[in-house]
Structure 1
Amino acid sequence: MSFQHLAIPTLQAWLDEGRDLALVDIRDPMSFSQGHIPASRRLGNDSVDVFLDETPAERPVVVVCYHGHSSQQAAAWLAGQGLAEVYSLDGGFTEWQLRHPDRVEA
């Protein structure tokens, strides 16, 4: 299993249409608390087991990091855990915040 790349406009459209997906942010807790995409949840080593238990294998998962690099490794790992549809957000939170400053939650 592998992951796919996701462009920011696609994620924006999915969120706007209320698509059922899991949006996970793998940045450090402080960065996450200072700002994140609404509806996202922080995912770390301490919470990944619970996340995998709670998340149906068929639910799309979008992984967000700072710039879209670390999320690729995390997305590949999650896909390897049996999740069917895993995406890495290209440009990461940094690019999202630049394009959508009004769509950032602290």
Structure 2
Amino acid sequence: MTAPTFQHLDAVTLERWLKDATPVTLVDIRDPSSFAIGHIPTSQHLDNQSVSALMHDAPAEQPVVVVCYHGHSSMQVASWLVAQGFDDVYSLDGGYSEWQLRFPAQVETSR
């Protein structure tokens, strides 16, 4: 039996989901200052301090999309989330860099 795994998601599909108001839990694992400078709208910063809240509060029926800088570290976190019991987990291919390049008008700041 094959263990469940995460899926890959491209920025265009995520943008469509957000435009269509598809329910999704969007987590950004970049460092706090990078997140503050710019992040994908509706995303929440995920780190060691906030992961327990995610585990407790994330709606089980919603997909979880993990965002990092370039789409590499997010794969590890997405695998970990699947191992923790999340069923519908995605790693954003190209990460925040790809998002910012494709959709510069769709970037929020925390400053």
Deviations 1:49-87 (A, max 9, x none): 111100122210000000000000000000111111000
2:40 is the alignment partner of 1:26 = no
Q: 1:48 aligns with which of 51, 54, 64?
A: 51
The Cα shift of 1:23 comes to 0.4
1:17-96 matches, cutoff 5 A:
17-96=20-99
What is the TM-score of this pair, normalised by structure 1?
A: 0.97
RMSD: 0.6
Dislocated runs of 4+, deviation >4 Å: none
Deviations 1:8-65 (A, max 9, x none): 1100110010001100000000000000001000000111011110012221000000
Supply the AA of the counterpart residue of 1:94: S
Supply the AA of the counterpart residue of 1:45: N
Please list every run of 5 or more consecutive structure 2 residues that lacks an aligned counterpart in the other structure. none
Comparing 69-78 and 50-59, the one that deviates more: 50-59
2:19 is the alignment partner of 1:16 = yes
| Identity of matched residues, % | 58
Question: Matches of 2:59 and 2:103 in 1, distance apart?
Answer: 29
Structure index of larger Rg: 2
